[in-house]
Amino acid sequence: MNEYVDLPISLWLTDDNHNISPYIQVPQFLLDYCYEMNQDCRIVVTQPRRIAARALACRVSETREWRLGGLVGYQIGMDNRHRSPNTRLLYLTTPILLKMFAQRKSISQFTHVVLDEFHERDLDSDLVLLACRLLLADLDHGGTTKLIVMSATLNIDPLVQYFKAVQLKTATFSVSQQHPAASDSRQWVSAAGFRVEKRWLRSIKDYLAADLEICSRERPACEWQQEYEALLSPRFDQPAISDLEFELVARLLLTLRSEEVGWEEELSRGSHRDKVETTDRIPGAVLIFLPGEAEILSLRSILWEASLKYSRNEEWSLLPVHSRLTRDEQDRVFQAPEPGVRKIILATNICESSLTIPDVVYVVDFCRTREIHWDSETHLERLQLKWASQANLKQRAGRVGRVRWGRVYRTIPEEFGRKLREFPAPEILRAPLDKLVLTVKILDLGSPRM
């Protein structure tokens, strides 16, 4: 990092192909470098969600043993109590940075602007990128402000072309880390020094096929087999989650404890040797990605019933996480459960990026999402259920393997997952534009120009 920070480059584009937490490390690298070179700095890092901005600032504060609101702070909404004139590393939500640009019509108040998780391409993120592009172009030779655009699934080429028009000096970096190759046929991806195994629907089905005593007693095994076969042929125009998928995940969770010990022993030897410590023997938390609150409530009910009927060896703590919960309710996901209790987090994409929950070992991904779409007939916007993109799947898999070994279960066939769209559609292409037009007017950055 140090060999690049002093180059006359206004724009850095970084992709994290190995999920090694650039959203935590890069801003701290910049802060440390400025301190070592006795340079003043004001680093601002945007996050698409409030929970991420708050959690990252708190994590840096705890790691560095700094007072929150001192050198590191955050601002979400109108709450600016956790920042001060001395703050040099500020985490905030994207709309807050837009308001700062609207007030000052300048970017020079910051030495570094870091746009994190830019792959999500919501309206605010695209507007911030536009504002940065115009404001950087207005500075003499790009000034000293540097723009860093980061994501684990960043589509870099369009961004390079976008900034070429204003003749900014641009550099791209790929964050990587090397690990020994796996010696068996299973799929392993490297992440922060720990192994993550990925399992798709077919391997889940095969694993659970012999465990039919957990099935509903009212239906014969052959009927279950037929429904499983139907799951192996999903359709792009039918993203609804079936009851069988919910039951499949419930059965999967019931088998985790019996499988953990054997897998930990496997990881502790041979080429898959990870740092399996005594603390890893506690029940690993599970993070389940669902498209919305309705699905969270449905699965929570099924899991509650399953835990009462079949889970005799451990208790479950079921924690829903979505945008309508209070801050304290959302923060419960970061708290350790009681001994012998497995924490199961039922979340929307609010937990998809920029969050590390240390005790999460398993991710269960239903591979769906909900997107805002404009209905041209009713002239209203509505949330539509869609298949998630490959970028979404990669982000969700990145929630494990950062601090300990992990495993990802996806409830779709692998061949179907390879056909999913590569990136989510930018919100500007599918949402009403009235808010966009008003925000552009408020920014007042001059007449449209290339």
> Which portions of the chain are predicted below pLDDT 50?
8, 18-20, 176-192, 212-213, 216, 270-281
Contact of 163 with 148, CB cutoff 8 Å: no
Among 176, 196, 172, residue whose Cα is nearest residue 186: 196
CA 29, 25, 422 angle in degrees (round to 5)? 130
In which residue are the tokens 């502790």 written?
268
Contact of 51 with 355, CB cutoff 8 Å: yes
Residues 328 and 372 in one domain: yes
Whether residue 197 is contained in a domain is answered as yes
On the 0-12 / 13-18 / 19+ scale of CB atoms within 10 A, 280 is: middle
Tens of pLDDT, residue by residue over 29-71, are: 999 999 999 999 999 999 999 999 999 999 999 999 999 999 9
Rounded to 5 degrees, φ, ψ at 341 are: -105, 130
Contact of 200 with 417, CB cutoff 8 Å: yes
Residues 192 and 225 in one domain: yes
Whether residue 295 is contained in a domain is answered as yes
Residues 233 and 102 in one domain: no
Whether residue 183 is contained in a domain is answered as no
CA gap 306, 327 in Å, rounded? 29
Whether residue 373 is contained in a domain is answered as yes
**CA atoms within 13 Å, Cβ hemisphere of 230:** 12
So what's the pLDDT on residue 9? 56
CA gap 45, 56 in Å, rounded? 10
Whether residue 131 is contained in a domain is answered as yes
Looking at residue 12, its amino acid is W
Look at residue 330 and give its three-state secondary structure.
helix
Contact of 12 with 171, CB cutoff 8 Å: yes
Look up residue 280 and give its DSSP letter.
Answer: G
Q: Are strands 341-347 and 360-365 parallel, antiparallel or unpaired?
A: unpaired
Residues 108 and 205 in one domain: no
Concatenated DSSP letters of 364-416: EE--EEEEEEEETTTTEEEEEEEEPPHHHHHHHHTTSSSSS-EEEEESS-HHH
Look up residue 338 and give its DSSP letter.
Answer: P
Residues 242 and 137 in one domain: no
pTM for the predicted model, two decimal places: 0.83
What are 269's two structure tokens?
């030897």
Count, residues in the chain: 450
So what's the pLDDT on residue 30? 92
Residues 131 and 199 in one domain: no
So what's the pLDDT on residue 244? 87
Looking at residue 39, its amino acid is Q
The domain of 364 spans: 188-419
| Count of C-beta atoms within a 10 Å radius of residue 388 | 27
Which residues are CB-contacts of 368 (< 8 A; sequence separation ≥ 6)?
Answer: 239, 241, 290, 291, 295, 385, 386, 387, 388
CA gap 161, 136 in Å, rounded? 16
Residues 196 and 160 in one domain: no
Residues 398 and 439 in one domain: no
So what's the pLDDT on residue 269? 54
Whether residue 288 is contained in a domain is answered as yes
Contact of 347 with 367, CB cutoff 8 Å: no
Whether residue 305 is contained in a domain is answered as yes
Contact of 148 with 44, CB cutoff 8 Å: no
Whether residue 426 is contained in a domain is answered as no
So what's the pLDDT on residue 273? 45
Residues 246 and 325 in one domain: yes
Residues 56 and 201 in one domain: no
Starting at the edge strand found earlier in the chain, the sheet holding 194-199 runs 188-191, 194-199, 406-410, 360-365, 285-289, 341-347, 315-321
CA gap 199, 206 in Å, rounded? 11
Residues 120 and 261 in one domain: no
What CATH code is carried by the domain that includes residue 84? 3.40.50.300
CA gap 73, 64 in Å, rounded? 12
Buried b or exposed e, range 415-439, using 16+ CB within 10 angstroms: ebbeebeeebeebeeebeeeebeeb
| Count of C-beta atoms within a 10 Å radius of residue 323 | 12
Contact of 174 with 15, CB cutoff 8 Å: yes
Q: Classify the C-alpha dihedral 139-145-146-147 as positive or negative.
A: negative
Looking at residue 95, its amino acid is P
Residues 320 and 270 in one domain: yes
Number of domains in the chain: 2
